[in-house]
Amino acid sequence: MNINIVTLFPEIFSALNAGLLGQAIKREDININLIDLRIFALNEYGQVDSKPYGGGEGMVLMAQPLEEAIKSIPSSPVCHVVNLSPQGQQLTHSKAKELSKYTDLTIIAGRYEGIDERIINQFVDEEISIGDFVLSGGEFAALTLIDAFSRFIPGVIGNQKSVESDTFGSGLLKGPTFTRPEKFNDENVPEVLLSGNHAKIEEWRETQSLLRTLERRPELLNNIKLTKKQIKLLEDIVSKRIL
């Protein structure tokens, strides 16, 4: 996958060289192409932004430098362009999986009050938000986006089953996990996890996943189709809570 990133601060993306993403980049499962927007500045002062028409606070990234940056990208005829914006569609597990299917993806990491709307109209395929909050710039949102969809690219995660069983993989939150020691500050690991009975362990995990989702993100239950077994487990959970 080729990932092009238009940014004013390419140095921030050195973080991509760490961990599993860094290994994937070394193997060339992922290719990162950083485009420094300052290279396309309008003058010797490095100008890439200006005051918004009609007045208002802050500055806006100008259309011409952004256009030249996007057009400078060597890519296949079809390159999906994403602008990171609080006004965009919220990033979800399914959206991340969808983005992982592209072979060429361009991400605009905006700054200040955003980018000129004409760039969005003429070049951007979709806008994405990582949440209902505002950051100082799109770079950290871009890092989050890249990490989220890269997990679905074959080879990036060694054990692909871990991706499938992640929180949101099934539409539910993942239940609690434990490791050594068996006892920590007078709290023991649940006995079922030490039993060696894989059927009971699987049922416990499924029950805990449903319980955690019900307690913390109940709205998620409206968006997925539960199996008959999950419906029965959920009914049992609700019944015990009422009692």
Shared domain for 189 and 144, answered yes or no, is no
Shared domain for 59 and 149, answered yes or no, is yes
Q: For residues 37 and 10, give the distance between their C-alpha atoms in angstroms, rounded to a whole number.
A: 9
Domain count, the chain: 2
151 is a catalytic site residue: yes
Q: For residues 16 and 215, give the distance between their C-alpha atoms in angstroms, rounded to a whole number.
A: 34
Asked whether the predicted pLDDT for residue 7 surpasses 90, the reply is: yes
Report the CATH number that the domain containing residue 44 is assigned in CATH. Answer: 3.40.1280.10
Q: Residue 162 has what pLDDT?
A: 65
pLDDT (tens digit, 9 = 90+) per residue, 152-195?
998 898 766 666 666 677 889 999 999 999 999 999 999 999 99
Catalytic entry in 49, 111, 127, 151: 151
Mean predicted lDDT score pLDDT of the chain: 93
Q: Do the domain assignments include residue 164?
A: no
Catalytic entry in 29, 36, 67, 113: 113
Catalytic entry in 36, 86, 125, 126: 86
Catalytic entry in 117, 166, 202, 236: 166
166 is a catalytic site residue: yes
176 is a catalytic site residue: no
pLDDT (tens digit, 9 = 90+) per residue, 21-52?
999 999 999 999 999 999 999 999 989 999 99
Q: Residue 223 has what pLDDT?
A: 87
Q: Residue 74 has what pLDDT?
A: 84
pLDDT (tens digit, 9 = 90+) per residue, 65-103?
999 999 999 866 679 999 999 999 999 999 999 999 999
Q: For residues 116 and 61, give the distance between their C-alpha atoms in angstroms, rounded to a whole number.
A: 6
Domain that holds residue 81: 2-159
Q: Do the domain assignments include residue 223?
A: yes
Q: Do the domain assignments include residue 40?
A: yes
Shared domain for 189 and 229, answered yes or no, is yes
The contacts found for 202-210 with CB under 8 angstroms, 24 or more apart, are 203/233, 205/175, 206/230, 206/233, 207/175, 207/233, 207/236, 207/237, 208/175, 208/176, 209/170, 209/172, 209/173, 209/174, 209/175, 210/172, 210/234, 210/237
Contact 231, 207 (CB under 8 A): no
Shared domain for 32 and 113, answered yes or no, is yes
Question: Up-side HSE of residue 151: CA atoms within 13 Å toward CB?
Answer: 20
Q: Do the domain assignments include residue 167?
A: no
